Amino acid sequence: MKKKILAVVVALAAFVGLFASQPVQKQSIQAAKTTKTAKKTTKKAKTKQIRVTYTLKDTTKAKNKQTLAKKTFKVKKGTTVFTVLKKAWKVNYTKSSYGIFITKIKGLGNKKKKLYWTYTVDGKMPMVAADKQKLTKNKSNVVFTLKKY
């Protein structure tokens, strides 16, 4: 009788030990997968962020190309030039079928005096409105210039 009880206890202990250790292993594997996924997501998030510098210049003053303001931003790759501009400064604009037309930035601009804003991205003037121009390159330089036309 003692041998039967001992055999049952040993079998029960082995049975409990076998099943008790399996969920712990699954949890460890799942935790490792979650950590790897989190690292990949963080890397992807970092690669989608780009750094962009915005500069406002005024060429209507005696000191030609006077810099009014300069700010650097981290933005999501593919963000439009206009989206960042609106976050940085107060912007007045009108909408048309071609896109937005910027009339004032920081209160500067004057239709009656023919003072208008133009912009360049990395030294090149895009052929689209600022709300259609996407930022794709890291360390890009966007320059908005107030000019008389």
Higher pLDDT, 21 or 135: 135
Q: Do residues 52 and 140 lie in contact, with contact meaning Cβ atoms separated by under 8 Å? A: yes
pLDDT tens-digit map of 2-61: 565 555 555 555 544 545 555 545 555 555 565 566 566 555 555 589 999 999 999 887
Minimum mean pLDDT range among 9-13, 90-94, 111-115, 140-144: 9-13
Minimum mean pLDDT range among 64-68, 76-80, 114-118: 64-68
Backbone φ, ψ for residue 38 (5° rounding): -65, -40
Helix (H) or strand (E) run with residue 33 in it: helix 2-48
Grouping H, G, I as helix, E, B as strand and the rest as coil, residue 85 is: helix
